[in-house]
Chain A
Amino acid sequence: GIQVEQSPPDLILQEGANSTLRCNFSDSVNNLQWFHQNPWGQLINLFYIPSGTKQNGRLSATTVATERYSLLYISSSQTTDSGVYFCAAGSGNTGKLIFGQGTTLQVKP
């Protein structure tokens, strides 16, 4: 099955800094999603992006499907951006997602 690897595992930023989170996947996919898990455990959908580039406010994501990686960009980080960011990928027609191990982001004031 698909394997999903995220880097870095941990990231500490000063408020206002920019960051890039990376997600590598081992096989071709038809589903690639980025999530933010808040301190209460809720996963919030950030992007559905099996290919191409999308932007939503201070966040943007790019997936290069042919090279099997996706990047999540956070600009002008805020303390509320803290939490765990997960990348999840899937293929086939089951809709199943395989999650990476996550990147824990801490934004300091």
Chain B
Amino acid sequence: GAVVSQHPSRVICKSGTSVKIECRSLDFQATTMFWYRQFPKQSLMLMATSNEGSKATYEQGVEKDKFLINHASLTLSTLTVTSAHPEDSSFYICSAGGLAGGYYEQYFGPGTRLTVT
């Protein structure tokens, strides 16, 4: 399967600062990347869909000015959490997807655990 990396794997920041998370597809060109957040013992909630070279599409209830997404190339998408607050502490997971063998499949990064103090 395809390999997706995320950096950093863990970050602690102070309230009011911004944090950038990188998501890279290492061995394939992803036409679309997705960002999810997961709270403890809960499922993954889709935050936004990111297509290379175009603006991200945010899910209902996700603040686009707070969670800035950039998809500059077919292998890199970034999520910036601006003016972070303790309630933004969560596990953020990206996935990369594309057509392979005639069908569309998503592959997930290892996640980034964000703690805002």
Q: Is the interface of B mostly helix, strand, loop or mixed?
A: strand
Q: Across the interface, which residues of B come within 8 angstroms of A97, CB to CB?
A: 34, 46, 95, 106
Contact B32 A42 (CB under 8 A): no
Contact B43 A102 (CB under 8 A): yes
Interface membership of B28, Cβ < 8 A? no
Q: Across the interface, which residues of B come within 8 angstroms of A45, CB to CB?
A: 1, 105, 107-108
Among A40, A48, A99, which residue has its beta carbon within 8 angstroms of that of B105?
Answer: A48
Q: How far is the CA of A86 from the CA of B113 in the complex (A)?
A: 19
Chain A contact residue count (CB 8 A cutoff): 22
Among B43, B57, B91, B97, which residue has its beta carbon within 8 angstroms of that of A86?
Answer: B43
Interface membership of A78, Cβ < 8 A? no
Interface membership of A73, Cβ < 8 A? no
Which of A42, A43, A100 is packed against the most chain B CB atoms within 10 Å? Answer: A43
Interface size range of chain B in the complex: 20 to 34
Quick one: CB contact mask for A70-106 with B, threshold 8 Å, 1 for yes?
0000000000000000101000001111111110000
Quick one: CB contact mask for B80-117 with A, threshold 8 Å, 1 for yes?
00000000000101010100000111111011010000
- Tell me whether A42 and B111 are in contact in the complex, defined as CB-CB below 8 angstroms, given that A33-B106, A94-B49, A96-B49 are known contacts: yes
Among B44, B49, B97, which residue has its beta carbon within 8 angstroms of that of A99?
Answer: B44
What residues make up the interface of A, taking CB atoms closer than 8 Å to B?
30-31, 33, 35, 40-43, 45, 48, 50, 86, 88, 94-102
Given A31-B105, A94-B57, 5 new contacts (CB under 8 A)? A48-B103, A86-B44, A95-B97, A100-B43, A101-B43
What residues make up the interface of B, taking CB atoms closer than 8 Å to A?
1, 32, 34, 38, 42-46, 49, 57, 91, 93, 95, 97, 103-108, 110-111, 113
- Chain A to chain B contacts (Cβ below 8 Å), 12 pairs: A30-B104, A41-B91, A41-B110, A50-B103, A86-B44, A88-B44, A95-B32, A95-B106, A97-B106, A100-B43, A101-B42, A101-B43
